[in-house]
Each structure stands twice: as C-alpha cells, then as structure tokens.
Amino acid sequence: MNKFVMLTCLLFSSILILAPSVTRAQNPAAKPSAQPEGQKLTPEQEAKIVAQMQAEAKKFTIPQMKAALEQSPNPVLYAKQILQKRFKIDTIIVTKTRNFSSLADSLAYTGKIKKVYGPYGDKSNRFLVQLLTKAPNQFYHISQIFIDTSIFRYRIADSLGNLILRKLQDSGASFDQMAKTYSMGGEGGGDLGWIARGAMVPQIEHEVNAHKKGEVFRIWSANGLHIIRKVENPKQDTGFALMMRVWL
C-alpha cells in the first residue's frame, strides 16, 4: 500500500510548472514560449497562461476534453484549474477478476492508466471516468462446495461434508461434479475464480495460505461448512485503483 500512497501523492504536483509544455502538447501548432529555458514564470505570466488555457478549454468537444485529460501531466489539477469542472476522486478496491458488480469495478481492473472513458450517466448527470493509477494485491484461486447451516442443522451439514470428502477421495468424483450436486453457494461448478486478499472469510484465507495447490480442506464459518479446493498458487494482480470522475 505504501507504493499506492506514493503514486497518489504524485498526482498533486503543480500543473503551473508544466503549463507551457501542456499547451504545446494539446496544440502542436502552437508557437513555443519565448521564455528562456530554466527561467521561472512571474505570477502574472502564470495567470495569463492559465487564463488562455481556460478560454480554450471552454470550446472543447467531449473528445477534445478526453484527449486533454489523457495528455495532461496532472489530470486532477487540469480538471480543477483548466476545465473548471466538478470532479471526485474514488479509490476502488478490486475484489475479484471476473463477474464485476459495477462499472467502477470493471474499469478499475480492465482499464488502462491515464485512459478516459465515457461519458456515462443520463443527460442531466453525464460524467467521464479517468483511471489515474493502479496498485497490486495478492489473489487466490479457489473452488468451493458450501453447505448452508441456516437450512441444514450442524450435524447434518457435518455428515454431508464427510460424505462429499469420501466421494472425492475414494470414488474419483470431480470437485466440479460435487459442487454442482451439493453446493448451496450459487457458484455453479464451484469455481470462485481469483479472489483478492482480504475479500474472503479470514479463516478460509488463512487455510488457503496453509495448504498446497490442489489440496482440498473443510472449514466452518458463521454461515456454514465450506469445502475448499486450492486451484492455483497465489498471484499478484491489480488490487487497487484510483479513479477520477469529471462531470460535464
């Protein structure tokens, strides 16, 4: 997380220092500034540059606005000072790598850094989304057979769990087949995909770390009995994303 915090802080460096180069990047035909290299701009010169950029930005189409945000070395301050748009910074925690629950989750994992997406929303509340930075987290790939103790008593769930384990060990039944037959978790063939560290029940996450790839184990939680198969060894993937929404 320290790396993520550092990347976040870098977003808030001054845009005024880079203002002349930003202007040329957005308009390659613009003449270079006559200001000598290495000489600081006066407050009056800085204000004049910002005012010119603000005036140009008011004429932007949505594609031009998206391009300007993508090219800006500091899109947060660009949205505030130059576009003069309302914006919000969101920290998105990626909990899984498929079957996303929202647009933000999907963009956080699949989106490209600096890329601007959208517009989204209805006509009165349209906004753009820019992915500012990402940071990694550890992910676990598991399959599950879940016996719900709100439906079965503990004793019955325990007996059923033992039966499933015997079938897996003695009769050569596949974990997917047992999950389709017995699991009450709604995951179909039992495969939960890649799940982020911190998103699983703590007891399950601890046991996943303690077992080897391919091993099957059972564990109780407040909700019932979980029979877990560790499908793959853990891997690093996108776990956190910093995103900016800019309202049009």
Query: 64 is in which domain, residue-wise?
Result: 2-137+239-247
pLDDT value at position 36? 53
Percent of the chain topping pLDDT 90: 71
The reply to whether 156 and 182 lie within a common domain is yes
The reply to whether 142 and 122 lie within a common domain is no
The reply to whether 195 and 74 lie within a common domain is no
The reply to whether 105 and 213 lie within a common domain is no
Taken in order 94, 95, 98, 104, the sign of the CA dihedral is: negative
Average pLDDT over residues 33-59: 81
pLDDT value at position 35? 53
Lowest mean pLDDT among 7-16, 115-124, 175-184: 7-16
If you search the block for the tokens 């990626």, which residue do you land on?
94
List, for residues 92-114, the tens digit of each pLDDT value: 999 999 889 899 999 999 999 99
Left, alpha or beta for 151 (phi > 0: left; psi -120 to 50: alpha)?
Answer: alpha
The reply to whether 71 and 185 lie within a common domain is no
Contact in structure between 60 and 68 (CB atoms under 8 Å): yes
The reply to whether 56 and 158 lie within a common domain is no
The reply to whether 51 and 169 lie within a common domain is no
The reply to whether 156 and 198 lie within a common domain is yes
The reply to whether 41 and 90 lie within a common domain is yes
Q: How many domains does the chain have?
A: 2
Q: pLDDT band for 185, please (50, 70, 90 cuts).
A: confident
List, for residues 75-95, the tens digit of each pLDDT value: 999 999 999 999 999 999 999
CATH number at residue 227: 3.10.50.40
**Is pLDDT above 90 for 23?**
no
The reply to whether 108 and 168 lie within a common domain is no
Average pLDDT over residues 226-233: 96
The reply to whether 148 and 227 lie within a common domain is yes
Amino acid code (one letter) for 44: E
Q: Which helix (H) or strand (E) holds 27?
A: none
Distance of alpha carbon 211 from alpha carbon 142, whole angstroms: 11
pLDDT value at position 170? 87
pLDDT value at position 189? 74
Query: DSSP assignment of 51-81, as one string?
Result: HHHHHHHTT--HHHHHHHHHH-S-HHHIIII
Average pLDDT over residues 163-173: 89
Average pLDDT over residues 165-169: 92
The reply to whether 133 and 161 lie within a common domain is no
Average pLDDT over residues 103-129: 95
**Is pLDDT above 70 for 34?**
no
